Structure 1
Amino acid sequence: MEGLFRRPGYTGPVTNSALRTALTAGGVLAAAGLTTAAGGFLGTRDFALREVTAPVLESGTFDRLSRFHGDGRPAGRREFTILHVSDLHMLAHQKMKQRWVSALGALEPDLVVNTGDNLGEREAVPGVLQALDPLLRRPGVFVFGSNDYYAPHPVNPVNYLLGRKNPPGDTALPWQDMRAAFLEHGWEDATHRRIDFTVDGLRLAVGGVDDPHLDRDDYPALGGGPNPGADLALGLSHSPEPRVLDQFAADGYQLTMSGHTHGGQLCLPGGHAVVTNCGIDRSRVSGLSRWSERMWLHVSSGLGTSKYVPFRVFCRPSATLLHVVERPSVPA
Structure 2
Amino acid sequence: MRASRTAAVALGAAAAGVAVWSTVIERRLFTLRRHTLPLLAAGAEPLRVLQLSDLHLAPWQANKIDWVRSLAELRPDLVVLTGDLMGHREARFALLHALRPLLERTPTVYVHGSNDYYGPILKNPVKYLLEPSRKNTRTPDLDTEALSRGLADLGAVSLNNAATRLTLRDTPLELFGLGDPHIRYDDPAAMRAARAALPSEEDAAASAAAPLQLGVVHAPYQAALGELLDEGAELILAGHTHGGQVRVPGVGALTANCDLPTAQARGLSVWYDAERAAFLNVSAGLGNSIYAPVRFACRPEASLLTLEAAR
TM-score (norm 1): 0.83
Q: How far is the alpha carbon of 1:295 from its aligned partner? A: 1.3
Cα deviation digits, residues 188-237 of structure 1 (max 9, x gap): 00111121222232212111111011111111111266889552111110
**How many Å apart are 1:270 and its aligned residue?**
5.3
1:105 has 2:42 as partner = no
SS of residue paired to 1:291:
strand
The structure with the largest strand share of the pair is 2
Distance 1:260 1:164, change over 3 A: closer
Name the CA shift for 1:271/1:322 in 2 (closer, same or farther; >3 Å): farther
In 1: Cα distance, 2:235 partner to 2:212 partner: 8
1:217 paired to 2:186: yes
Tell me, what secondary structure is at the counterpart of 1:134?
helix
The answer as to 2:220 corresponding to 1:237 is no
Find the counterpart in structure 2 of residue 325 from structure 1: 308
Report the AA paired with residue 52 of structure 1.
H
**Equivalent position amino acid for 2:254 in 1:** V
> Once the two structures are superposed, what CA deviation does each residue of 1:145-177 show, in whole Å capped at 9, x if it has no partner?
011100111111111122342544556122222
Equivalent residue number for residue 314 of structure 1 = 297
Of structures 1 and 2, the one scoring higher in RCO (CA 8 A, sep 6+) is 2
Matches within 5 A, 1:1-332: 18=1, 20-41=2-23, 42-60=25-43, 62=44, 78-137=45-104, 138-165=106-133, 167-168=135-136, 172-223=141-192, 229=207, 230-269=210-249, 272-292=252-272, 293-328=276-311
Kindly tell me: are residues 188 and 271 of structure 1, through their superposed partners in 2, closer, same or farther at Cα, counting changes over 3 Å?
farther
Identity of aligned residues (%): 38
Instruction: After TM superposition, give the deviation of residue 116 of structure 1 in Å.
Output: 0.5
Aligned counterparts of 1:58 and 1:204: Cα–Cα separation in 2: 12
CA RMSD of aligned residues (A): 1.9
Alignment CA distance shift 1:183-1:156 (3 Å): same
Provide the aligned length of Structure 1 versus Structure 2.
Answer: 294
Q: Is 1:151–1:170's contact at 8 Å kept on the other side of the alignment?
A: no
- Larger CA Rg, structure 1 vs 2: 1
How far does residue 22 in structure 1 lie from its aligned partner after superposition? 4.1
One-letter amino acid of the structure 2 residue matched with residue 287 of structure 1: G
Aligned partners of 1:35, 1:165: CA distance in 2, in Å? 29
Name structure 2 gaps, 5 residues minimum: 202-206
Structure 1, unaligned runs of 5 or more: 1-17, 63-77
- The range that moved more, 238-247 or 268-277, is 268-277
Displacement of 1:107 in angstroms is: 0.4
TM-score by length of 2: 0.89
